[in-house]
Amino acid sequence: MDFQLQSHDGAFPCEVTCDEDNGRYMIRKADTSGEVFNSSQELKEWIEQNWNEAMFKNRNEYTKMLVSLSSSISE
């Protein structure tokens, strides 16, 4: 799963990659720095602790991303 969320702070969208097949769990933030995680659970926890829907131009995309990540973790 790949998600792009346009924040209010950056010119480039934030990107979230959750690739279970290849073990890739990454985030690119609004300032273009990034984070790498060992699991989709760690990725989701970081997002919940550091981001919120008010940071993004489309709040629904943020909510849909969290729902998708939650469903992939529970499977």
Total domains present in the chain: 1
* Domain assignment of residue 52, given as a range: 2-66
18 and 69 Cβ atoms separated by less than 8 Å:
yes
Q: Is 6 part of a structural domain of the chain?
A: yes
Q: Is 73 part of a structural domain of the chain?
A: no
Q: Which helix (H) or strand (E) holds 27?
A: strand 24-28
How large is the average pLDDT for residues 42-60?
96
Torsion over CA: 43, 9, 4, 62 (sign) = positive
Q: Is 75 part of a structural domain of the chain?
A: no
3: number of Cβ within 10 Å? 19
Q: Is residue 2's pLDDT more than 90?
A: yes
* pTM confidence score: 0.91
Q: Is 74 part of a structural domain of the chain?
A: no
Beta-ladder partners of 61: none
* Position 57, amino acid: K
Q: Is 72 part of a structural domain of the chain?
A: no
Q: Is 40 part of a structural domain of the chain?
A: yes
Q: Is residue 29's pLDDT more than 90?
A: yes
Specify the DSSP class assigned to residue 11.
S
